[in-house]
Amino acid sequence: MSAWTRFLERRSRAALAAGCIVLSLATGFTDYLTGTLISFSAFYLAPVSLAAWFVGTVFGLFIAALCVTVWVLGNLIAGDANFANPFLIAWNGSIQLASFSVVVVVLGQLRILTRDLERRVRERAAALTKEIAERERLQKLLLQASEKEQRRIGQDLHDGLGQHLAGTAIAGQVLRDKLERRSLDEAGDAAKVVQLIEEGVSLTRRSAKGLYPVDMQAEGLMLALDEFALTTTRLFDVNCRFLCESPVLVHSATAAEHLFRIAQEATRNAIQHGAARNIDIELNTLEEGHELRIADDGKGLPSMLPANGGLGLRIMAQRAQTVGADFQVMARPEGGTVVTCRLPVTIEEKMAS
């Protein structure tokens, strides 16, 4: 049915109009041939409906009139008793014309409704597509904004608070030296204060690093992952290794930062949800691009993800998508999870330039 409709929709209006006229005449001729005893009037509905649906209401009415004319003429020639005088001709003809016209008008209205519905469906679909694109764009912006904010706080910590504390430590050292020159015991206390301030600097440095881990230089990702593996091993009592066979330079700072965050999130998942003991973070050069791989020996992915749909996983996937990388999370046959992220070298070069 719909195949026929589509076929007819594609024809030109002139061809369809001609077809309707031919069909009307053919129906009239067949009606004449079959004689007056067999009612044939319903078959005229075919050209009338086609004309009304595919060409238009006005042309539909024209075909209705044509059909009635042909029908009346046929019956007259055949000598039908129903058309014995002009009144009968006018009456029967009008009745037939009226019923055809009703069909034409109803089909016309139906046509308008259908078209309208189709149009609205198309518009809605377009609006939805736009909305989805807009939402993705917003998600990306949100991620970028929060990263920018983190970076800003990180830099403020490093360059503002860190430097202030460093200056304070020097001031403390001045005090210590003065006290020592006067051979006062308090020099020891002052040295202790300097040490405490230095611990503050060290804490500040560490926090800043957590917020803004990847140095802008191309080898920054290697350094950041190396440092991250060391810190993770120390802080969480796990064996976290960074494996990198040969230098991998990521020239796009954005790509580097996203890859780092993916490694960070995957490692956090492995420790918090997977109770992993060993985590290997690998950064490698493959023929087609850079590959970041985080493999752990934990419990693996839960068969049912939590209600928030594994927000961490979604964000990792989103990050990978942002930089045009391929992202995969899989269970390892020997237990545990492996997260793989592949960044095609062509995309990375484009981002960096």
Binder of another protein out of 2, 246, 308, 353 (CB under 8 A): 246
Binder of another protein out of 187, 249, 317, 347 (CB under 8 A): 249
Binder of another protein out of 116, 123, 136, 219 (CB under 8 A): 219
CB of 165 to another protein, least distance (A): 6
* Site track for another protein across 149-178, x = CB under 8 A: ---------xx--xxxxxxxxxxxxx-xxx
CB of 218 to another protein, least distance (A): 8
Strand arrangement, sheet containing 337-344: 239-243, 278-286, 289-296, 337-344, 326-331
3-state secondary structure 44-104: HHHHHHHHHHHHCHHHHHHHHHHHHHHHHHHHHHHCCHHHCCHHHHHHHHHHHHHHHHHHH
CB of 308 to another protein, least distance (A): 36
281 near 226, Cβ under 8 Å? no
CB of 240 to another protein, least distance (A): 14
CB of 139 to another protein, least distance (A): 32
User: In the chain, helix, strand, coil percent, each to 5?
Assistant: 70, 10, 20
Binder of another protein out of 105, 179, 223, 315 (CB under 8 A): 223
* One-character DSSP codes across 318-348: HHHHHTT-EEEEEE-TTSSEEEEEEEEHHHH
Token pair belonging to 29:
């001729």
- The stretch among 241-249, 260-268, 296-304, 317-325 that binds another protein (CB under 8 A) is 241-249
CB atoms within 10 A of CB 138: 11
Q: How far apart are CA 264 and CA 279, in angstroms?
A: 11
Binder of another protein out of 103, 211, 345, 347 (CB under 8 A): 345
Quickly tell me which residue has 């996203």 as its tokens: 258
Give residues 68-87 in contact with another protein (rule: CB under 8 A). Answer: none
208 near 155, Cβ under 8 Å? yes
218 near 229, Cβ under 8 Å? no
Q: Which residue type occupies 302?
A: P
CB of 195 to another protein, least distance (A): 9
Q: Does residue number 188 form part of the binding site for another protein (CB under 8 A)?
A: no
Its sign, for the CA torsion 177, 180, 186, 188, is positive
Query: In terms of CB distance, is 284 or 321 closer to another protein?
Result: 284
Query: In terms of CB distance, is 26 or 193 closer to another protein?
Result: 193
Query: In terms of CB distance, is 17 or 165 closer to another protein?
Result: 165
CB of 191 to another protein, least distance (A): 7
Binder of another protein out of 30, 202, 272, 328 (CB under 8 A): 202
332 near 295, Cβ under 8 Å? yes
Residues forming the site for another protein (CB under 8 A): 158-159, 162-174, 176-178, 191, 194, 197-198, 200-202, 205, 215, 218-219, 222-223, 226, 242, 244-249, 283-287, 345
